[in-house]
Amino acid sequence: MKGLPQVHPDMRRAKFWVGLDDRVAAPQDPKAAQRSVATGVLDLRQEIPFNPEQPSTEPPVGFNQDGRPWSAEAWAEVVRNIDRARPLSARGVTVKRANVRRWPTASACFRTADDREFDQFQETRLHIFEPVSVLGESQDQAWWWIRSQIVSGWVRRQHVALDDEEAWTAMKDEARPRLLIVGNDVATEPQPYDWAVSAKPLEFGAYLPLWPVSDPLEPNGIPVGGQTPVGHHVVGYPVRTTDGRLAVHAALVKDTDRVHLGPLPCTRAEVIASAFRLLGDRYSWGDKLGTHDCSSLTMDAYRTVGIQVPRNSAAQARALTPVAIWAEGTTYTRRLSDLRTLAQPGDLLMMPGHVMMYLGLWNDTAYAIHAFVGYAERTGGRLRAFAVNSVEVSSLATLTRDGTVYLEACTRVVRVL
């Protein structure tokens, strides 16, 4: 198997990079960091009107999931679904990892007929048990227009359960005891007495509330679904009732190194380690495949230490503190010098439409971990593109697929911690 250029196997381990810089282990103040990026995170307490994006009446230039161009008739249905939408005012939480769509339709819009991953209608996926404001409903009543901390858009109605204001406010309280998922392949235990919470997958970066200690399930060791909670965490799992309301059921999650009580210690080392837990995961535009794209990788890595940064790369660039800003034409040597003297591992490297997590310098070459589509090599005067479509470590001396050196395509370095 061909490895990535200038990346040897040890570099695909978080400890390799953490061990190069003593600063990454220094504890940081997550509250101070969160205040510094709050301008890029949506405030759910703020009341805003129902004002979804209005589409053009002309069908989009693109192809649906069957590889066919969007027809005027199919697009007219989407437009009607928005034009005749009605405002709502409710609070809720997601009961699964919910797709957020630009328009109220599950149909895709790809740039080419053979594409099946870069769906231009996909905004992101919300984590399970995420608080949202419900501000509108589509004409067909199948979609709700919601606002979360990171995005506004359309979600399937059945993926959100409504809650009363007091309980919803408590749900947003990050001081409440919660279990954080910090690994892949985590699920609730099978439960033959409550199929609503049985063997449910839990994604990296999700937080679930611990079952209240006042309940007899946890302190008295009473079994959950006939299984002892010894060696497990008892969590509250969100269930949507038949009338659309939220019901929280008890579920068991194994106590392993893939879960953590509350956020991880707030250090750059933990942020880097969190990014490396996703190493090798498939690149996923808008998280539609259930994995990460470039900006959700950096967002979720910082989420594990209790810091919510904006969702997309442009918003991250605007909200985060600049460490270095590079104008077009800034030399490669100057950029390396700035990284050496100004940057720290865990900082983010921004380029148009992309973000990478900086890892450090090795043999005077800069490296980053990122979720990316690919790179290129120039041989015999010709540029040859290679697909990656994965979360990987790469040298910033590597070429992008259009032939620009990655480091020279960067516009700035920004900092969270």
60 vs 213, more confident? 60
Output the pLDDT for position 405: 98
Sheet holding 143-147, edge to edge: 122-126, 98-101, 152-156, 143-147, 131-137, 86-94, 160-163
pLDDT by residue (tens digit) across 294-332? 999 999 999 999 999 999 999 999 999 999 999 999 999
pLDDT in tens, 101-131: 999 999 999 999 999 999 999 999 999 999 9
Can you give the pLDDT at residue 96? 96
Residues 223-278: tens digit of each pLDDT: 788 898 889 999 999 999 999 999 999 999 999 999 999 999 999 999 999 999 99
Would you state the structure tokens that stand for residue 69, as one six-digit string? Answer: 């161009």
| Residue 373 per-residue DSSP state | E
Burial of 355 (0-12, 13-18, 19+ CB in 10 A): buried
Segment 395-406 mean pLDDT: 97
Question: Crossing angle, helix 268-276 and helix 294-303, to 10 degrees?
Answer: 130
Residue 164 — pLDDT band, cuts 50, 70, 90? confident
Dist. CA 142–CA 139, nearest whole Å: 8
Which pLDDT score, from 0 to 100, does residue 212 have?
74
More confident residue, 318 or 46: 318
Q: How many residues make up the chain in this entry?
A: 417
Architecture of domain 72-169: Roll (2.30)
Let me know: does 174 contact 30? Beta carbons within 8 Å: no
For the segment 60-73, the average pLDDT, to the nearest whole number, is: 96
% the chain with pLDDT above 70: 95
Query: Could you tell me whether strands 131-137 and 143-147 are parallel, antiparallel, or unpaired per DSSP bridges?
Result: antiparallel
Strand ranges for 27-137 from DSSP E: 86-94, 98-101, 122-126, 131-137
Fill in the DSSP letter of residue 28: -
Residue 211: its pLDDT value, please?
A: 84
| Structure confidence by residue, pLDDT tens digits, 24-40 | 999 999 999 999 898 88
Instruction: Tell me where in the chain the CATH 2.30.30.170 domain(s) lie.
Output: 72-169
Of 25, 136, 56, 132, nearest to 88 by C-alpha is: 136
Comparing 29 with 44, the larger pLDDT belongs to 29
pLDDT at 43: 86
Average pLDDT, integer, range 6-20: 96
**Domain boundaries 9-40+264-415, CATH class:** alpha beta
Asked if residues 274 and 301 have their Cβ atoms less than 8 Å apart, the reply is yes
Are 367 and 393 a contacting pair, CB within 8 Å? yes
In this prediction, residue 221 carries a pLDDT of: 54
> Residue 218: its pLDDT value, please?
47
The 10s digit of each residue's pLDDT in 214-237 is 554 544 456 788 898 889 999 999
User: Is pLDDT of 44 > 90?
Assistant: no
Range list for CATH 3.90.1720.10 in the chain: 9-40+264-415
- What CA–CA distance (Å, rounded) separates 152 from 392? 29
Residue type, 323: V
